[in-house]
C-alpha cells in the first residue's frame, strides 16, 4: 500500500511539476510573442522623416529605415531598376528600387496630380558608393499607403474678374495717353 | 516693362499649349499690370534727350528693381511663395543669376511658372537692359552707358547694340544645342520625351547663365545621373567664359583659349581651390568618383557662379570640413570671366592684380634704373598700367566689403560665422549654393540684405552706388 501510495504521490508530484513547467513555458512563450509583437509594432511606427535622415545622415548610414512620402516627378527606369523620388513635405529623397517593387505606383506628384503616398523600407546611404555618393535609400519593400489623385483645375473667378477690370483700366490709360499726345 | 510684358507672352503661349489655365491667367494679369505702368511712365517720364552717364546708370539700377517687382507678380499669384517679399527674393535671385530660392512645394508648380523662373535667369544672364538694347533700341544714344551699367565694359562688335545682338545669338545657338544634349541625356535617364526636353531647356537656361534654378526641389540630385552632371559642368564652364572669347573661338582663333589671361587664371584658380576642397573632403568622400561627383561638382558650380547642387544644403555643414567649405567660399568669391554671365570678382581682375604684384616685386628686386614692363594677353597684348590696376583693386575690395557686410548681418541674425560667410558670399557673388540659411523662416532683414547683395553684386556696384548717390543728393536738395 505504502509503495503504491508513494508511486501515486511521485506521479502526482511529477504531473504537478510538468503542469507547472508547461505553465511557465506557456507564460514565457506568450511573453516572448507579446514582446516580439510590441517590438514589431514599434518598428513599423518608426518612420523617419527626410529632415531627420538628412540632418543625421551619419547616424542612419547603412541602417534599415522606414520612410514615407509622396512619389513625385517621374519614374526613371535604369535597366532592371528605377529611381523614384519620394517627398515627405520637407525634402525629396531618391529611392533606388527593382522594377518589381514599383509596379503599383501609378500616379506621381506634379501640378495636375497628387502622387501616390508610399512607404519605403530599405537601406539608407549617406553617400552611396554605388551611385556616386548620392544620399539615397535602396528599397527592399515599397507599400502603397494611399492612391494619388488628379487635381481638377477650376478657373479662379476672382482672378478672372480682376483681369477684366484691368483690361478696362488698360484701355482707359491707353486712350488717355493717345489723347495726351494730340 | 514693355519688354517684360512681351517676354511673359512666352509662358502664356506655353501654358495654353499644355492646358494650364490658372497659370495663364496669372500671366495675363501681370501683363496687364506691366502695360498699365509702362503707359503711365511713358506719359510722365518720356524725354527726347540723350542719357548722361549718371542717368544711364540710374536707369539701369532702377530697371532691375522694377523688373524684380513686375516679374514677381505671376509667381506670387501661383501661391507657391509665402509672401511677396519671398517672391521678390526669387525674382531678384533669378535676374541676378544667383539661384537662391524661397519657393514652396516646387515639385507641384506648373510648367508655365517653372518656365518663367528659368526664363528670368536667361534674360538676367544676358542683362535685362541688353534685352532692351538688342530688340528695342534703334539709335545708339545712351546705349553705351546702360551697357556699362550692367557690368559689361567690353565691346565685341563696333557698337553695343550689335554686341548685345551677338551675345543673344551666341546664347540662342547654345540654348538649342544644350537643350538637345540635356534632352537626349534625359531620355537615356528614363524620363519621358516632353519632360526631358522641358527640363533640358530649363536646366540649360539656368546653367549657361550660371543661375542655378532647377525644375525640381532636389536640384540636380533629382536626376541621379553622372552624364547629366557632366553635361551641366560643360554648360556651366561655357557660361563662365567671356563672350569676347566665344566670338574669337567662333571666328576660328582657338589659340586664344590657351593664351588668354582669364582662361589661364580660371584654370589655375579651379586647380588650387579644388585641391583645398579635396584635402578637406578626403575623409568624407574617400572614393575618387564620389569626390568628383560631390566635391568637384559643387566646387565648379560655385566657381562658375551657378549654384547647382548634388547634395542637400545641410550636408555642407553637417558633413563637410571647414577646410572644404573655405575652398568653396574662395571659389565662389573669385567667379568666372568678365563679360560672361557670372558674378563675383572675376578672373581678369585676379589676373591683373597678380601681374601687378609681380611687377612691384620686380621693381623692388631689380636696379632702380631698370624699366619694368609687365604685359598680359586678353584678345591682344595689353601693357599693365596703373589705370587698369586701380579699378581692378577697387572692385575687388568692394566685393570683399559686400561679402563681409552680408556675413556680419547674418551673424547679427544669430547664424554662426562660417555659415553666414558662406551664404553671404553665395548671394553677393551671384552663386546660389546654400548651406541652409536661405529658407522661408530666415529673418526679413536677411532676405532684404541678400536681395541688395544680389542686385549690387550683379551690377558690379557702379550703377547701384550712383543711384544711392542720387538719392542722397536729392535728400540734401542738391
CATH of the domain at A58: 2.40.50.140
Mean of all residue pLDDT scores within chain A = 84
List of long-range contacts for B20-24, beta carbons under 8 Å, 24+ apart: B20/A111, B20/A153, B20/B110, B20/B111, B20/B112, B21/A153, B21/A155, B22/A153, B22/A155, B22/A156, B22/A159, B22/B110, B23/B74, B23/B78, B23/B110, B23/B111, B23/B112, B23/B113, B24/B112
Q: What is the spatial distance between Cα B419 and Cα B401, in angstroms, rounded to a whole number?
A: 17
Residue B431 Cα to chain centre, angstroms: 7
For B67, other C-beta atoms within 10 Å of its C-beta total 25
CA angle B343, B347, B351 (to 5 degrees): 150
Question: In this structure, is residue A177 part of a structural domain?
Answer: no
A59 confidence band (pLDDT: 50, 70, 90):
very high
| B40 vs A: CB within 8 A | yes
User: Are A105 and A141 found together in one domain?
Assistant: yes
In order of A24, B19, B279, B304, B438, the CA distances from B419 in angstroms are: 61, 43, 20, 20, 11
CB B170 within 8 A of CB B243: yes
φ, ψ (nearest 5 deg) of residue B464? -70, -45
Q: Which of B25, B111, B218 sits opposite A163 (nearest CB)?
A: B25
Strand residue runs (E) in B60-163:
none
If you average pLDDT over residues A72-83, what whole number do you get? Answer: 94
CA angle B85, B86, B91 (to 5 degrees): 95
CA angle B73, B74, B79 (to 5 degrees): 95
User: Are A12 and A34 found together in one domain?
Assistant: yes
Question: B39 and A177: CB-CB below 8 Å?
Answer: yes
User: Are A99 and A77 found together in one domain?
Assistant: yes
User: Are A6 and A71 found together in one domain?
Assistant: no
Dihedral over Cα of B258, B262, B263, B265: its sign: positive
Q: Which of B25, B195, B224 sits opposite A160 (nearest CB)?
A: B25
A123 membership: H or E segment, kind and range: strand A117-125
For B13, other C-beta atoms within 10 Å of its C-beta total 13
Mutate to test the interface with A, among B109, B190, B318, B319 (most CBs of A within 10 A): B190
CA-atom Rg of chain A in angstroms: 32
CB B62 within 8 A of CB B466: no
**Residue A44 C-alpha, separation from nearest chain B C-alpha, in angstroms:** 27
Q: What is the spatial distance between Cα B226 and Cα B268, in angstroms, rounded to a whole number?
A: 25
Q: Which of A91, A94, A173 sits opposite B36 (nearest CB)?
A: A173
Which cell numbers in the block locate residue B306? Answer: 551657378
Q: Can you state the percent helix, strand and coil of chain B, rounding each to 5? A: 70, 0, 30
Question: In this structure, is residue A175 part of a structural domain?
Answer: no
User: Are A67 and A120 found together in one domain?
Assistant: yes
Q: What is the spatial distance between Cα A85 and Cα A70, in angstroms, rounded to a whole number?
A: 8
DSSP state of A47: B
Question: A76 and B195: CB-CB below 8 Å?
Answer: no
User: Are A71 and A118 found together in one domain?
Assistant: yes
Question: B29 and A91: CB-CB below 8 Å?
Answer: no
CB pairs under 8 A between A and B: 127
**Residue A148 C-alpha, separation from nearest chain B C-alpha, in angstroms:** 13
A119 membership: H or E segment, kind and range: strand A117-125
Question: In this structure, is residue A158 part of a structural domain?
Answer: no
* Residue A43: predicted pLDDT: 45
Sequence length of chain B is: 478
- Give the range of the structural domain holding residue A105, as residue numbers without chain letter: 50-150
CB B255 within 8 A of CB B265: no
φ, ψ (nearest 5 deg) of residue B335? 80, -165
**Chain A CB contacts of B33 below 8 Å:** 166
Residue B150 Cα to chain centre, angstroms: 12
Strand partners, A94: A85, A136
* Residue A42: predicted pLDDT: 44
Question: In this structure, is residue A60 part of a structural domain?
Answer: yes
State the residue for C-alpha cell 527593382. A98
Question: B107 and A72: CB-CB below 8 Å?
Answer: yes
| B284 vs A: CB within 8 A | yes
User: Are A113 and A86 found together in one domain?
Assistant: yes
Q: What is the spatial distance between Cα B240 and Cα B397, in angstroms, rounded to a whole number?
A: 21
* Residue B387: predicted pLDDT: 86
More confident residue, A13 or B7: B7
For B416, other C-beta atoms within 10 Å of its C-beta total 13
Question: In this structure, is residue A173 part of a structural domain?
Answer: no
Question: In this structure, is residue A157 part of a structural domain?
Answer: no
Question: In this structure, is residue A182 part of a structural domain?
Answer: no
pLDDT beyond 60 at A35: no
Q: What is the spatial distance between Cα A111 and Cα A104, in angstroms, rounded to a whole number?
A: 21
Question: B294 and A87: CB-CB below 8 Å?
Answer: no
Running along chain B, 478 residues long, what does each successive block of 10 average in pLDDT?
A: 88 94 94 92 75 77 90 94 94 93 94 95 79 57 60 64 79 92 94 95 93 93 95 93 85 86 92 95 90 94 93 93 95 89 88 91 87 85 87 92 95 94 94 92 94 90 82 79
A72 membership: H or E segment, kind and range: strand A64-78
DSSP state of B219: G
User: Are A142 and A84 found together in one domain?
Assistant: yes
Q: Which of A82, A96, A133 sits opposite B285 (nearest CB)?
A: A133
In order of B139, B425, B459, the CA distances from B65 in angstroms are: 25, 21, 12
Q: What is the spatial distance between Cα A107 and Cα B288, in angstroms, rounded to a whole number?
A: 37
User: Are A23 and A67 found together in one domain?
Assistant: no
**Chain B CB contacts of A58 below 8 Å:** 318-319
CB B81 within 8 A of CB B104: yes
pLDDT beyond 70 at A4: no
Q: What is the spatial distance between Cα B71 and Cα B365, in angstroms, rounded to a whole number?
A: 57
The residue in chain B having the minimum alpha-carbon distance to the alpha carbon of residue A169 is B36
Closest CA to A170 of B33, B281, B418, B407: B33
Tally of domains in chain A: 2
User: Are A113 and A145 found together in one domain?
Assistant: yes
CB B219 within 8 A of CB B309: yes
pLDDT beyond 90 at A130: yes
Question: A74 and B190: CB-CB below 8 Å?
Answer: yes
User: Are A82 and A36 found together in one domain?
Assistant: no
Mutate to test the interface with B, among A76, A82, A164 (most CBs of B within 10 A): A76
Q: Which of B22, B43, B224 sits opposite A131 (nearest CB)?
A: B224
Which cell numbers in the block locate residue B5? Answer: 510684358
Sequence length of chain A is: 182
Q: Which of B28, B107, B293 sits opposite A87 (nearest CB)?
A: B107
A84 confidence band (pLDDT: 50, 70, 90):
very high
pLDDT tens by residue, A150-164:
998 888 889 899 999
| B25 vs A: CB within 8 A | yes
The residue in chain B having the minimum alpha-carbon distance to the alpha carbon of residue A85 is B222
Question: In this structure, is residue A181 part of a structural domain?
Answer: no
Question: A159 and B26: CB-CB below 8 Å?
Answer: yes
User: Are A136 and A61 found together in one domain?
Assistant: yes
Coil vs helix vs strand at B53: helix
Residue B25 Cα to chain centre, angstroms: 29
Amino acid at each position: 500500500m505504502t509503495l503504491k501510495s508513494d508511486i501515486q504521490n511521485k506521479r502526482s508530484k511529477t504531473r504537478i511539476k510538468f503542469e507547472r513547467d508547461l505553465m511557465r513555458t506557456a507564460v514565457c512563450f506568450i511573453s516572448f510573442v507579446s514582446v516580439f509583437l510590441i517590438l514589431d509594432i514599434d518598428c513599423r511606427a518608426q518612420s523617419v522623416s527626410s529632415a531627420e535622415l538628412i540632418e543625421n545622415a551619419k547616424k542612419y548610414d547603412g541602417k534599415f529605415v522606414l520612410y514615407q512620402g509622396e512619389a513625385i516627378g517621374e519614374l526613371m527606369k535604369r535597366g532592371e531598376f528605377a529611381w523614384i523620388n519620394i517627398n515627405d513635405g520637407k525634402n525629396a529623397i531618391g529611392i533606388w528600387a527593382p522594377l518589381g517593387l514599383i509596379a503599383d505606383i501609378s500616379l506621381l506628384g506634379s501640378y495636375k496630380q497628387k502622387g501616390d503616398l508610399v512607404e519605403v523600407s530599405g537601406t539608407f546611404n549617406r553617400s552611396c558608393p554605388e551611385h556616386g555618393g548620392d544620399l539615397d535609400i535602396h528599397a527592399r519593400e515599397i507599400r502603397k499607403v494611399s492612391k494619388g489623385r488628379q487635381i481638377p483645375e477650376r478657373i479662379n473667378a476672382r482672378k478672372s474678374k480682376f483681369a477684366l477690370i484691368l483690361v478696362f483700366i488698360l484701355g482707359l490709360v491707353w486712350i488717355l495717353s493717345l489723347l495726351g499726345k494730340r | 516693362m514693355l519688354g517684360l510684358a512681351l517676354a511673359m507672352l512666352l509662358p502664356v503661349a506655353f501654358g495654353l499649349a499644355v492646358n494650364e489655365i490658372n497659370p495663364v491667367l496669372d500671366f495675363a494679369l501681370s501683363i496687364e499690370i506691366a502695360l498699365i505702368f509702362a503707359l503711365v511712365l511713358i506719359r510722365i517720364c518720356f524725354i527726347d534727350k540723350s542719357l548722361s552717364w549718371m542717368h544711364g546708370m540710374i536707369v539701369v539700377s532702377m530697371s532691375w528693381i522694377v523688373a524684380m517687382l513686375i516679374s514677381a507678380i505671376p509667381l506670387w499669384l501661383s501661391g507657391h511663395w509665402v509672401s511677396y517679399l519671398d517672391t521678390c527674393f526669387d525674382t531678384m535671385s533669378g535676374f541676378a543669376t544667383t539661384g537662391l530660392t524661397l519657393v514652396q512645394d516646387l515639385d507641384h508648380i506648373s510648367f508655365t511658372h517653372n518656365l518663367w523662373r528659368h526664363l528670368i535667369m536667361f534674360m538676367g544672364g544676358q542683362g535685362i537692359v541688353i534685352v532692351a538694347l538688342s530688340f528695342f533700341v534703334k539709335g545708339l544714344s545712351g546705349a553705351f552707358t546702360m551697357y556699362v551699367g550692367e557690368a559689361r565694359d567690353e565691346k565685341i562688335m563696333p557698337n553695343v547694340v550689335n554686341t548685345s545682338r551677338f551675345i543673344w545669338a551666341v546664347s540662342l545657338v547654345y540654348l538649342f544645342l544644350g537643350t538637345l544634349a540635356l534632352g537626349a541625356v534625359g531620355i537615356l535617364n528614363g524620363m519621358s520625351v516632353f519632360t526631358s526636353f522641358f527640363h533640358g531647356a530649363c536646366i540649360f537656361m539656368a546653367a549657361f547663365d550660371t543661375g542655378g534654378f532647377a525644375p525640381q526641389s532636389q536640384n540636380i540630385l533629382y536626376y541621379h545621373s553622372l552624364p547629366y552632371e557632366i553635361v551641366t559642368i560643360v554648360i556651366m564652364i561655357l557660361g563662365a567664359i567671356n563672350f569676347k572669347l566665344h566670338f574669337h573661338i567662333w571666328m576660328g582663333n582657338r589659340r586664344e583659349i590657351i593664351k588668354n589671361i582669364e582662361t589661364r587664371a580660371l584654370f589655375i584658380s579651379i586647380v588650387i581651390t579644388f585641391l583645398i576642397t579635396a584635402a578637406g573632403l578626403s575623409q568624407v568622400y574617400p572614393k575618387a568618383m564620389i569626390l568628383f561627383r560631390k566635391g568637384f561638382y559643387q566646387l565648379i558650380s560655385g566657381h562658375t557662379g551657378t549654384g547647382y547642387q548634388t547634395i542637400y544644403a545641410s550636408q555642407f555643414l553637417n558633413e563637410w570640413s571647414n577646410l572644404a567649405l573655405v575652398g568653396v567660399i574662395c571659389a565662389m568669391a573669385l567667379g568666372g570671366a568678365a563679360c560672361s554671365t557670372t558674378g563675383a570678382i572675376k578672373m581678369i581682375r585676379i589676373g591683373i592684380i597678380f601681374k601687378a604684384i609681380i611687377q612691384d616685386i620686380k621693381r623692388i628686386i631689380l636696379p632702380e634704373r631698370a624699366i619694368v614692363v609687365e604685359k598680359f594677353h586678353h584678345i591682344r597684348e595689353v601693357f599693365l598700367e596703373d589705370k587698369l590696376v586701380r579699378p581692378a583693386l577697387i572692385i575687388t575690395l568692394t566685393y570683399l566689403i559686400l561679402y563681409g557686410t552680408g556675413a556680419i548681418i547674418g551673424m547679427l541674425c544669430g547664424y554662426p560665422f562660417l555659415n553666414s560667410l558662406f551664404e553671404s558670399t553665395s548671394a553677393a557673388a551671384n552663386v546660389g549654393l546654400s548651406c541652409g540659411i536661405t529658407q522661408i523662416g530666415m529673418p526679413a532683414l536677411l532676405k532684404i540684405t541678400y536681395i541688395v547683395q544680389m542686385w549690387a553684386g550683379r551690377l558690379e556696384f557702379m550703377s547701384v552706388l550712383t543711384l544711392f548717390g542720387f538719392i542722397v543728393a536729392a535728400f540734401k536738395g542738391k
